[in-house]
Structure 1
């Protein structure tokens, strides 16, 4: 959904310049929707303008239109949230793409087995977006994440797993884009993380992130390919660093993730 540059603003969609078939007004309306980082967030016109880079008068017209059509809702003040029409589009996507539904019981079992958060993510520009999220039955420590939450590819182990799942040419182009969008001082860290995670996926089937996204959260992730599914997916297991230590991730959580993938592969759910 969102494509955010180094400045934090939602980047203008590709194809706007010089494409006579490109509808700029529609693209700007979609930029407004992409400014919302999760389903529960509310934003005012000033915040939306800052995130999208669009002029505030333009944002005001767009939010009014999207509100009228049900893609946004208004709270008691001057803030907007995502509306039911967005949910209807999400439901249509899930109906057309059966993979998340088929994977659901297996990933819920995984969440219960590891007592951690399990997320199914879908590639979205330079981010991965959570399209399904499970917590273990009886899990006592939870993270404040929701369906629709975006993780930057450059700063998450789920993003590294998605890079590993790409075709070589696509991966090279994406890595160049991530490096271009990263501050120069961050590029050595990014290069080292990418190299390590690609190697781990090749050797073990999953990659480990120790404080990659947040210093207090560790994770393990693996790319997922499903026959007939639209888009590039990855499964991410995350939790507090004091519980999911690097040793636990490598010797217990990661192998359990691979076992869940193997069960789905035996049923033809994943390749």
Structure 2
């Protein structure tokens, strides 16, 4: 029987790290007349669902998005009518609808890299008996687009495809930042600095360390960065013709995946997997 290790994203620190914001304030440029706030808010409602199994009421969605409850009610009504949301059995809560699945399927058809990488990353998950996730940046977060667990793995972490990790507080996010060129990274760092406030000096130091590790070794190590009981190692990946910078994250409980294990065993295995894909032209 597998043991589930809760990720603790509902702790006060987790909520602060992964808090959802109105995209009209966080992603839209001030004074941009082309930015459609209503559309952005509708998409933000969909982003409030952290995985496909969640059922949320208007009050919960309002709390996660920061949008007024009357606005949320109108948005959920519209998204329900369009098939992006469905009603739960109680008639009051909502879940993600089939139209969302159609969008994700279209994305994966357009980006073949996740499917090409699948057997190699599954082999890695089995070899290290840990979770291996492939992610892309989504605003100030990284989002899991594929996830593999080791065959026979006995300790699991309750994460699924669609799970979000904060860029500045996760190994995957750190690897993503390290893999960017300076022109792309600089504006993100400015936004992260503004969001972090007094915590920025500590985060900036971790970002700099991880960037140096990726430059020197090809991967970075996160010891309790996102959750004190979970450690991870991550690396950025560029795939020819793919849209966006990918990152591979290998994570597990801290008592198994110690810093020494990550640096001496897991990180090198991750690099070996990337080298196998590079030899076949799957990654650059």
Check if 1:219 corresponds to 2:232.
yes
> Contact 1:131/1:148 (CA < 8 Å) preserved in 2?
yes
Residues 204 and 241 (structure 1), Cα distance of their counterparts in 2 relative to 1, 3 Å cut: same
Q: 1:12 aligns with which of 23, 26, 41?
A: 23
Give the deviation of 1:226 after TM superposition. Answer: 0.4
Q: SS at the partner of 2:23?
A: coil
> Contact 1:6/1:182 (CA < 8 Å) preserved in 2?
no
Residues 46 and 245 (structure 1), Cα distance of their counterparts in 2 relative to 1, 3 Å cut: same
Question: In structure 1, what is the Cα distance between the partners aligned to 2:281 and 2:271?
Answer: 15
Residues 268 and 211 (structure 1), Cα distance of their counterparts in 2 relative to 1, 3 Å cut: same
RMSD: 1.6
5 Å-filtered alignment, 1:139-178, equals 139-178=153-192
Check if 1:182 corresponds to 2:230.
no
Q: 1:124 aligns with which of 138, 142, 160?
A: 138
> Contact 1:122/1:234 (CA < 8 Å) preserved in 2?
yes
Question: In structure 1, what is the Cα distance between the partners aligned to 2:34 and 2:196?
Answer: 31
5 Å-filtered alignment, 1:44-59, equals 44-59=57-72
Structure 1 segments unaligned to the other structure (5+ residues): none
> Contact 1:38/1:150 (CA < 8 Å) preserved in 2?
no
Structure 1 stretches of 4+ moved >6 Å: 4-7
Q: SS at the partner of 1:119?
A: strand
> Contact 1:121/1:158 (CA < 8 Å) preserved in 2?
yes
The total of aligned residue pairs comes to 267
Query: If the length of structure 2 is used for normalisation, what is the TM-score?
Result: 0.90
Q: Name the structure 2 match of 1:69.
A: 82
Q: SS at the partner of 1:182?
A: helix
Query: If the length of structure 1 is used for normalisation, what is the TM-score?
Result: 0.94
> Contact 2:134/2:249 (CA < 8 Å) preserved in 1?
yes
| Deviations 1:16-56 (CA, angstroms, capped at 9, x unpaired) | 64333333322221121112222222211112122222221
> Contact 2:141/2:166 (CA < 8 Å) preserved in 1?
yes
Structure 2 segments unaligned to the other structure (5+ residues): 1-14
5 Å-filtered alignment, 1:80-91, equals 80-91=94-105
Q: 1:114 aligns with which of 128, 135, 140?
A: 128
Residues 213 and 7 (structure 1), Cα distance of their counterparts in 2 relative to 1, 3 Å cut: closer
